[in-house]
Amino acid sequence: MRIVDAVSLRRFAQSARGSCVMIVIVEPHNAEKHSNLLEQMFRLRARIFHDHLGWDVEVADGKERDKYDGEGPVYVIYTDRHGLKVKGSLRLLPTTGPTLLADIFSDTVPDAVDLQAPTIWECTRFCLNDNVLHGDKEEILFASTVLLIALGDVALKAGIESIIGNFDASMLHLWRRIGCEVEVLGCTSRYGRPIYLGLHPISEAIVGRIKKKLRGAQSAVAEARVMAA
Amino acid sequence: MTTVPLDSLSRGGGKKQTSTSTMAASVSKQDLLTEAFSIVENTPDMDGVITTLRDFLQVDHLVYYSSQLPGPSVPYIRLTYPGSWIKRYLQMGYGEVDLVIREGFKRTLPFEWKELEFNSPAEAAFLADALAHGIGPHGYAIPVSNKHFYRGLFTVCSSQSEQAWATFLSSTQSALIQIANRVHSRVVVEVFGPDKPQLTTRELECLRWIALGKGATEIAAILDISPHTTRDYLKSVHYKLDCVSSAQAVTKAIRLGLLTL
């Protein structure tokens, strides 16, 4: 089933695990309506990227924002079933316009990557809520998978065929575990620890395969709960 | 306004379009793109580009808007709307309630007009009036941008049946996105002048192998990367050089002095 909006994702998740997830897609036109979620997201990004990962990012008033947030990106936000609390989020920009990765990763090795095409978009600031991160591995896997599926479905609907993204070694491991076919194009150590640049193909087949993993992940979560009870 | 049938524009012969068949049904996607790109590149003026593309795509209307240029200037708009609607639009001050434009410049993903939510009865009345003048009800809008913060909006509309529109959109969506971007690139050159394309080492490497007769799968094996990644490097080359195929890109890159064999 193609997830094209929050309603159909909710139905999918209900059939998958008997509870609700919600995905909210925010662009400038509906940013005001979702200002509470955006506020939470910017605060989450500050905690994860600045406090926890120690990346060289600007934080003001407890929120992490950069100039690309002013370029009208698409935010894909995973919330609790009431649409009130942010559990994870990511940011999407078309490579035809100004992008973080083209600007910052111009010194990536083995050679500069500056992919630009209408069907290639960049995903940055992919993160999960610290509550989720402090949970068990299966919860993290489940949340990451839900957010990736949402990204996949937004991409399929918009005719996007590739996503270029940045991540560290542990995220790369997670992507592959979830079933992404990510190819590492380069690496930069400009910010201390190595950050990779990767290219994810998007297709019905790939998104479908990840959806099947979701069912696997959520039953592992259910099992863990039964054992803990 | 005369309609120029697809087969007279693209190639000699070929099936005549029946009223129920979609253009995409009898033309391959690559042929469609090649013809559309040729229209954008070779038609002398932008009004001609928009009109010819509209006829070629067999939609009712096609509009390209761009964001405000820096400094005092009028917005750059090229459209196929009839004079009667333009007059009505200005008389009624519809620039204030045109939600397609308003939302179009506040959205980044392509969207259908039916996804728009009304904020006021005036907006609903505007769309009803537009419909009465042959605009819509179906529309698809594609926001476009470039590296220098210059944005545009490319939109097509149609009065086909729901079913025919759905078929048209699903078979033509990816071509429309490419065409929208190609039109935007032409406008950027017209407004700001040409820019020298910058190809990365890897992109040039892929292009060189194409020039030497290799296909994407072979190049992938040679460079030890996936075929998908190879095709993406080539897509980036196509986009940067405003080309629709790798063969075209090789010719252009040589001409621009970016590639020497």
pLDDT 10s digits, A22-31 = 899 999 999 9
> With bands split at pLDDT 50, 70 and 90, how would you rate the model's confidence at A214?
confident
Q: What is the pLDDT of residue B20?
A: 39
CA distance A16 to A214: 8
Window A:184-203, CB contacts with B under 8 Å: 185, 199, 201
Q: Running along chain B, 261 residues long, what does each successive block of 10 average in pLDDT?
A: 34 34 64 97 96 97 83 80 94 91 93 91 93 95 94 96 97 97 96 92 96 97 96 98 97 95 85
Q: Nearest by CB to A74, which of B108, B226, B240?
A: B108
CA distance B170 to B110: 13
* Beta carbons within 8 Å of B252's beta carbon, 6+ residues apart: B241, B242, B243
What single-letter DSSP state applies at residue A47?
I
What single-letter DSSP state applies at residue A30?
G
Q: Which amino acid is at A60?
A: A
Q: Is B14 helix (H, G, I), strand (E, B) or coil?
A: coil
Chain A residue closest in CA terms to B99? A29
Please check whether the domain covering A6-228 is classified as CATH 3.20.20.10. Answer: no
Whether the CB-CB separation of A31 and B108 falls below 8 Å is answered with no
What is the 3-state secondary structure of B69-132?
CCCCCCCCEEECCCHHHHHHHHHCCHHHCCHHHHHHCCCCCCEEHHHCCCCCHHHHHHHHHHHH
Judged by CB atoms closer than 8 Å, whether chains meet at A181 and B202 is answered as no
Question: With an 8 Å Cβ cutoff, is A103 touching chain B?
Answer: no
Q: Nearest by CB to B239, which of A28, A74, A118?
A: A118
What single-letter DSSP state applies at residue B260?
-
Tokens of A207: 């998104």
Segment A2-11, tens digit of pLDDT:
444 444 444 4
Dmax over CA atoms of chain B, in Å, equals 63
Q: What is the pLDDT of residue A117?
A: 98
Q: Nearest by CB to A159, which of B107, B151, B177?
A: B177
Would the pLDDT of A58 be above 60?
yes
Can you name the residues that pair with B253 across neighbouring β-strands? Answer: none
Tokens of A39: 């506020």
**Beta strand pairing status for A195-201 and A183-188?**
antiparallel
**Beta strand pairing status for A120-128 and A162-167?**
parallel
* Beta carbons within 8 Å of B42's beta carbon, 6+ residues apart: none
What single-letter DSSP state applies at residue B8?
H
Chain B residue closest in CA terms to A114? B200
- Please tell me the distance in Å from B7's CA to the nearest CA on chain A: 27
Question: With an 8 Å Cβ cutoff, is A154 touching chain B?
Answer: yes
Tokens of B233: 């490097």
Chain B hits for A67, Cβ within 8 Å:
none
Whether the CB-CB separation of B175 and B33 falls below 8 Å is answered with yes
Window A:19-38, CB contacts with B under 8 Å: 25, 27-29
Q: What is the pLDDT of residue B117?
A: 87
pTM for the complete prediction? 0.88
Q: Which range, of A180-184, A188-192, B127-131, B196-200, averages the lowest pLDDT?
A: A188-192
Q: In what order do the strands lie in the sheet with B77-79?
A: B77-79, B61-66, B152-158, B138-144, B111-112
Question: With an 8 Å Cβ cutoff, is A114 touching chain B?
Answer: yes
Strands, E assignment, B114-257: 138-144, 152-158
What single-letter DSSP state applies at residue A81?
T
Judged by CB atoms closer than 8 Å, whether chains meet at A183 and B146 is answered as no
Q: What is the pLDDT of residue B185?
A: 97
Can you name the residues that pair with A23 across neighbouring β-strands? Answer: A78
Nearest CA-CA partner of A127 in A73, A182, A48: A48
CA distance B251 to B244: 12
Using left for φ > 0, alpha for ψ between -120 and 50, and beta otherwise, residue A224 falls in: alpha
CA distance B150 to B127: 27
**To 10 degrees, what angle do helices A137-157 and A204-228 make?**
160
* Alpha carbon of residue A161 to chain centroid: 16
Segment A91-110, tens digit of pLDDT:
999 999 999 988 877 776 66
Q: Which whole number is the average pLDDT over A159-180?
A: 90
Q: What is the pLDDT of residue A20?
A: 60
Nearest CA-CA partner of A7 in A22, A17, A19, A18: A22
- Give chain B's contact residues with A (Cβ, < 8 Å): 103, 106-110, 144-147, 149, 151, 173-174, 177-178, 180-181, 198, 200-202, 225-226, 228-229, 232-233, 235-236, 238-240
CA distance B184 to B145: 8
CA distance B46 to B191: 12
What was the ipTM of the complex prediction?
0.88
Would the pLDDT of A133 be above 90?
no
Judged by CB atoms closer than 8 Å, whether chains meet at A115 and B146 is answered as no
- Give A188 or B259, the one with higher predicted confidence: B259
Q: Where are the domains of chain A?
A: 6-228
Q: Is A97 helix (H, G, I), strand (E, B) or coil?
A: coil
Judged by CB atoms closer than 8 Å, whether chains meet at B232 and A117 is answered as yes
Which of A131-140, A183-192, B21-30, B113-122 is most confident?
Answer: B113-122
All domains of chain B in start order, with CATH: 6-192 (3.30.450.80), 201-255 (1.10.10.10)
